[in-house]
């Protein structure tokens, strides 16, 4: 039986489905998706909540009906896959609307179940009516409805990762008083501490109260409503609470399937996105990723990688030659007027790997100093001591700062040295950069140090 069955109908799953359909016009493709949506952008949820995007429907790239009618892909929403039987080549599915279960056979299977947000279920009140995770479109709708109905004045965000920070912007824009707590010594722990501190300062300038080194311990509840967040240091008033405590791969239902799991329970795959079990493939946030700099497997939950690995999985399933080489860990985020970007390895990772490196930062400007709107940009580069090979880059600044990280990501991917970066023929005009782009200014400073 040649049916392709896909579990998960978002970025990775539907990229693969679409690719297979483009190559094989008549292949039977069945998708099971536990929510009501397909191909949606969770990345847009903070901007829906801030009011920048009017309707949640704008975040849906292709609806289930479009996949069914235009692409002949048999999409079943509100269907939760409970179990994978790799010996019998079948999956156990719960039809949530009718509350009935059935076994679905497959010829080939793609697992694209994404990740799930961490939720502190050991703390009483984790499921109170005014506490929210930010994961699915439904969670975005729930937050929006709550803000509209209850008009909260104060919010506590638990977690200092990029989702917590983006939510801080959304809630500030909705006029709430926002407090962010994180158990780490800095926000955005994918940055080095000297860059992380700049993000904390930016948050404070924007009006967010930030408490570092502070852990969530509990909630003060009135009925099913949280009124205060209890940390190990104080009680904070909260009309609403948002969790941004990280995600883990959604793979618990694979227990007993024989499918090999690795870092954080993510599915182990080869460069074609094939698992250890014949005819079983995986892509997106539920899989491990090879870090091309450290050559170690890690778990990164990003839409960029979900789309790419979904496409590679689809190509492989369709019988084409495709390879996903891995990632260098490139990510950007925005908090109001501030842009934050990172790629490659950070100092703690280089120290752990025993790689000798040098690092430096420069303060520069996003435009020529005389051009209106020029703002400060801080660039940090990390390079291998003897070879000068670029190993990492971090950028913080205002408009026009973040996307400069793509030059550095390209450099790291292709093993460029600081001299190679200095030699790059990058563009210049006063509205876009100083005549030496800040990334090149930083490379010139660092090359002198090594």
- Please enumerate in sequence order all residues whose Cβ is within 8 A of that of 77, keeping only pairs 6 or more positions apart, or say none: 9, 33, 34, 35, 36, 37, 38, 64
Would you say 81 and 205 are in contact if contact means Cβ atoms under 8 Å apart?
Answer: no
Q: What is the dihedral of CA 302, 304, 309, 314, to 10 degrees?
A: 130
- Judged by CB under 6 A, the chain residues 352 through 391 that form the site for ligand FAD are none
301 binds ligand FAD (CB under 6 A): yes
Among 16, 45, 242, 311, binds ligand FAD (CB under 6 A): 45
Among 5, 6, 7, 345, binds ligand FAD (CB under 6 A): 7
Distance CA 268, CA 249 (A): 11
33 binds ligand FAD (CB under 6 A): yes
Would you say 112 and 283 are in contact if contact means Cβ atoms under 8 Å apart?
Answer: yes
CB nearer ligand FAD, residue 167 or residue 382: 167
As measured in angstroms, the least distance from the Cβ of 242 to ligand FAD is 10
Would you say 143 and 242 are in contact if contact means Cβ atoms under 8 Å apart?
Answer: yes
Among 30, 32, 335, 408, binds ligand FAD (CB under 6 A): 32
- Judged by CB under 6 A, the chain residues 10 through 29 that form the site for ligand FAD are 10-13
- The Cα angle at residue 333 between residues 332 and 336, in degrees rounded to 5: 145
Distance CA 331, CA 344 (A): 10
59 binds ligand FAD (CB under 6 A): no
Count of residues near ligand FAD by CB under 6 A: 33
Output phi, psi for 194, to 5 deg. Answer: -65, -25
As measured in angstroms, the least distance from the Cβ of 432 to ligand FAD is 23
306 binds ligand FAD (CB under 6 A): yes
89 binds ligand FAD (CB under 6 A): no
Closest Cα to residue 350, out of 297, 392, 410, 388?
Answer: 392
Would you say 268 and 262 are in contact if contact means Cβ atoms under 8 Å apart?
Answer: yes
CA 227 to chain centroid, in Å, comes to 30
Distance CA 315, CA 420 (A): 34
As measured in angstroms, the least distance from the Cβ of 250 to ligand FAD is 5
Distance CA 382, CA 145 (A): 45
CB nearer ligand FAD, residue 389 or residue 404: 404
Active site positions, annotated: 43
CB nearer ligand FAD, residue 104 or residue 360: 104
Q: Give the DSSP letter of residue 339.
A: E
CB nearer ligand FAD, residue 139 or residue 415: 139
CB nearer ligand FAD, residue 158 or residue 374: 158
The pair of structure tokens assigned to 154 is 């104060």
228 binds ligand FAD (CB under 6 A): no
Q: Give the DSSP letter of residue 113.
A: -
Distance CA 149, CA 38 (A): 27
Q: Which residue has the tokens 């800040």?
A: 438
CB nearer ligand FAD, residue 193 or residue 256: 256
- Judged by CB under 6 A, the chain residues 243 through 282 that form the site for ligand FAD are 250, 253
9 binds ligand FAD (CB under 6 A): yes
> H or E element: which one contains 237?
strand 235-237
- Judged by CB under 6 A, the chain residues 68 through 87 that form the site for ligand FAD are 80-81
169 binds ligand FAD (CB under 6 A): no
Binding mask 99-118 for ligand FAD (x = CB under 6 A): -------------xxxx---
Interface residues with ligand FAD (CB under 6 A) are 7-13, 32-35, 42-43, 45-46, 80-81, 112-115, 134-135, 163, 250, 253, 284-285, 301-304, 306
């Amino acid at each position: 039986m040649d049916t392709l069955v896909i579990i998960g109908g978002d970025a990775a799953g539907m990229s693969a489905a679409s690719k297979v359909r483009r190559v094989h016009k008549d292949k039977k493709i069945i998708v099971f998706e536990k929510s009501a949506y397909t191909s949606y952008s969770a990345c847009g949820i903070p901007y829906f909540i801030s009011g920048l995007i009017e309707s949640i429907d704008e975040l849906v790239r292709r609806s289930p009906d479009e996949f069914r009618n235009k692409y002949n892909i048999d999409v079943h929403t509100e269907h939760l896959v409970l179990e994978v039987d790799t010996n019998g080549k079948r999956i156990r599915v719960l039809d949530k609307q009718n509350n009935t279960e059935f076994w679905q056979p497959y010829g080939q299977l793609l697992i694209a179940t994404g990740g799930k947000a961490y939720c502190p279920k050991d703390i009483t009140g984790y499921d109170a009516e005014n506490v929210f995770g930010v994961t699915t479109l439904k969670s975005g709708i729930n937050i929006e409805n709550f803000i509209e109905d209850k008009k909260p004045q104060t919010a506590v965000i638990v977690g200092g990762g990029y989702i917590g920070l983006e939510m801080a912007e959304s809630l500030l824009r909705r006029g709430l008083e926002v407090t962010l707590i994180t158990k780490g010594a800095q926000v955005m722990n994918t940055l080095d501490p000297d860059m992380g501190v700049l993000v904390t300062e930016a948050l404070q300038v924007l009006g967010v109260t930030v408490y570092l080194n502070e852990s969530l311990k509990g909630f003060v509840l009135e009925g099913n409503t949280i009124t205060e967040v209890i940390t190990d240091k104080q009680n904070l008033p909260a009309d609403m609470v948002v969790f941004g405590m990280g995600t883990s791969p959604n793979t618990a239902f694979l227990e007993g399937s024989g499918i090999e799991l690795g870092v954080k329970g993510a599915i182990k795959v080869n460069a074609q996105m094939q698992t250890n079990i014949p005819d079983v493939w995986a892509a997106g946030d539920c899989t491990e990723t090879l870090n091309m700099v450290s050559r170690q497997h890690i778990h990164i939950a990003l839409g960029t990688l979900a789309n790419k690995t979904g496409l590679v999985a689809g190509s492989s399933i369709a019988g084409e030659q495709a390879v996903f080489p891995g990632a260098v860990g490139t990510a950007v985020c925005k908090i109001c007027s501030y842009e934050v970007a990172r790629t490659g390895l950070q100092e703690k990772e280089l120290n752990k790997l025993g790689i000798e490196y040098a690092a430096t930062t420069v303060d520069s400007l996003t435009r020529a100093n005389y051009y209106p709107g020029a703002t400060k940009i801080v660039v940090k580069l990390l390079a291998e001591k003897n070879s000068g090979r670029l190993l990492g880059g971090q950028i913080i600044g205002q408009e026009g700062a973040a996307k400069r990280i793509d030059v550095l990501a390209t450099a790291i991917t292709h093993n460029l040295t600081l001299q190679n970066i200095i030699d790059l023929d990058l563009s210049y005009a006063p509205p876009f950069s100083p005549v030496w782009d800040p990334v090149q200014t930083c490379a010139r400073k660092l090359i002198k140090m090594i």
